[in-house]
Amino acid sequence: MRWKRTIQLLDVHCEGEIGRVAIGGVPKIPGETVAAQLHWLNTDPKGHELRRFLCLEPRGAPIGSVNLLLPAKHPDADAAFVILQPDQAHASSGSNSICATTALLEAGIVEMKEPETVVTLETAAGLVKALATCRDGRCEKVKLTMVPSFVHELDVKLQTPAWGEITLDLCYGGIFYGLVDVRQVGLAIEKANAAALVRAGMVLKALINEQLPVVHPEIPAISGVAYVMFRDTEADGTVRTCTTMWPGRADRSPCGTGNSANLAALHARGKVKVGDMFRSRSIIGSQFEVGLAAETTVAGKPAIIPTIAGRGFTFGLHQVALDPFDPLSDGFAMTDVWGPSAGEI
């Protein structure tokens, strides 16, 4: 073969959300820290090239993420990783942490020990501890101890052309979220409403980032609201979520970082305390267990340590390659599949 580049991907999904894991052929990513590597991926032309190669057509797709496994920088970490999505590289993700843990164990990169294996993941947002329940060579379930999550501001007023004034919470759960009670946009979190929810989420995200800039107080590489997560509460107390993602799709999982951000909001309002646990249900009905492990601080602000538990499943193994003569090496996106936001790619 005359391929210019090859990367081996283990196909994994977490509660329906695809998080492919690059387990071989990942190029060296410059940076002394994972946050610096994240910054390089988001600012250097070669970083953009790698993301487009893996995330855009004809090799990629609008649904799912690609997780780059990297050598750990922190002495306590088993592996580091950065999440690639069509828009940019992201610092943290609960579903992708579960996918990465499942891949590390089931591919034999980290030794699997039964009945439980602890895997420490290094992200640009900090260390994530993964407690994997293992049996018969399979990773059955993963419980994550997430990075500290905190409220940036509650009950923020946002003027919108379509819905008038809406109220949202700006919170951090490994990345920044705009958390919006879904009934404010006249919708319910149901599969039939996925396209309408995504359109609303893309509009709100743009308005939020125009009007409400946010930067992590200790990690400048993490800035801006990455996603809008719509939320609701079902009759049995289960939190229902739909995280909307650029260029226009819905997270299939309940969303780990989004639930971490929402947990910080619930804690700030006195609705949860240390030791509490509840279920969060996604737009497709899959579930995470969400817990509040501890209270802490970030740059002097009150913060919490969330836990997220869910399942990852491997479903394939493939190698993606680049023909040096391919005129579409830079990748592309079409509005017929990717939606109107594809015009920004």
Distance CA(122)–CA(108), nearest Å, equals 18
Instruction: Find tokens 């993420």 and name the residue.
Output: 65
Give pLDDT, residue 341.
79
Give pLDDT, residue 342.
80
Secondary structure E strands in 15-163: 17-24, 65-70, 79-84, 89-90, 116-123, 126-135, 138-145, 149-160
- In the three-class reduction of DSSP (H, G, I as helix; E, B as strand; rest coil), residue 190 is classed as coil
Which tens digits make up the pLDDT trace of 194-214? 999 999 999 999 999 999 999
Known catalytic residue at 55 = no
Distance CA(231)–CA(60), nearest Å, equals 29
Known catalytic residue at 134 = no
Give pLDDT, residue 345.
78
What pTM does this model have? 0.97
Residues of the chain scoring pLDDT < 50:
none
Give pLDDT, residue 118.
98
Give pLDDT, residue 101.
98
288's enclosing H/E stretch is strand 287-298
Distance CA(9)–CA(13), nearest Å, equals 12
Which of these is catalytic: 97, 255, 286, 341?
A: 255
Give pLDDT, residue 339.
82
Query: Do you find a cis peptide bond into 115, omega within 30 degrees of 0?
Result: yes
For residue 82, list its beta bridge partners: 68
Residue 10 phi/psi, 5-degree rounding, is: -95, 120
Which of these is catalytic: 65, 92, 93, 282?
A: 93
User: Rg of the chain over CA atoms, in angstroms?
Assistant: 19
